[in-house]
């Protein structure tokens, strides 16, 4: 791990707090953070396009609505009040569905698009990426083959927890 990566990990670890049953961590901003502009209009435009798309397919619409409601109930997302005023430091992450109706568990997965740009800059570009913390697939496969019994499972919503 590079010195910069170690510094980012240390910074993130030092900001972890638990509030109302959820963990919160500060975003590791890079030097581009001050230039992020409010992207409400772009996110609203993307939302309207998504709504038009799902309106054509009642099954997709219901699955998308159900998934969003689950995220709302679990506190993963919050609803934006259209009557509130917005300031320049707010950033909204547009989302869209990935549909795989042949799946037994998660048929509709919602992708939050932090790579969406406003004025030529995305949220992904304004934060440090940090080090890759997942194990290499090769190492996982070696460990998998080293024991006589293997256990496999599907961790639902792993990336949203």
Q: CA-CA distance, 80 to 85, in Å (whole number)?
A: 10
| The pTM of the whole model exceeds 0.85 | no
Q: In which residue ranges of the chain is pLDDT below 50?
A: 161
The alpha helices in the chain, defined as continuous H runs, are: 3-14, 40-55, 58-74, 123-126, 137-145
Q: Is the C-alpha dihedral spanning 116, 97, 72, 80 positive or negative? A: positive
What is the pLDDT, as a whole number, of residue 48? Answer: 93
What is the pLDDT, as a whole number, of residue 157? Answer: 58
Residue 130 CA, chain-centre distance (Å), reads 16
What is the pLDDT, as a whole number, of residue 161? Answer: 44
Q: CA-CA distance, 60 to 65, in Å (whole number)?
A: 8
What is the pLDDT, as a whole number, of residue 14? Answer: 93
What is the pLDDT, as a whole number, of residue 34? Answer: 65
């Amino acid at each position: 791990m590079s010195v910069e990566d170690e510094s980012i990990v240390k910074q993130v670890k030092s900001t972890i707090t638990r509030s109302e049953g959820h963990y919160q961590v500060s975003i590791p901003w890079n030097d581009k953070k001050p230039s992020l502009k409010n992207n409400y209009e772009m996110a609203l435009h993307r939302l309207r396009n998504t709504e038009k798309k799902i309106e054509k397919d009642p099954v997709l619409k219901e699955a998308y609505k159900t998934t969003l409601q689950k995220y709302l109930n679990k506190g993963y997302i919050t609803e934006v009040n259209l009557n509130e005023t917005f300031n320049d430091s707010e950033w909204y992450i547009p989302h869209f569905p990935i549909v795989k109706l042949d799946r037994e568990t998660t048929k509709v997965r919602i992708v939050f698009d932090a790579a969406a740009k406003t004025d030529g800059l995305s949220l992904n570009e304004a934060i440090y990426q940090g080090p890759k913390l997942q194990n290499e697939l090769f190492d996982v496969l070696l460990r998998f083959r080293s024991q006589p019994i293997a256990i496999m499972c599907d961790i639902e919503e792993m990336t949203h927890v």
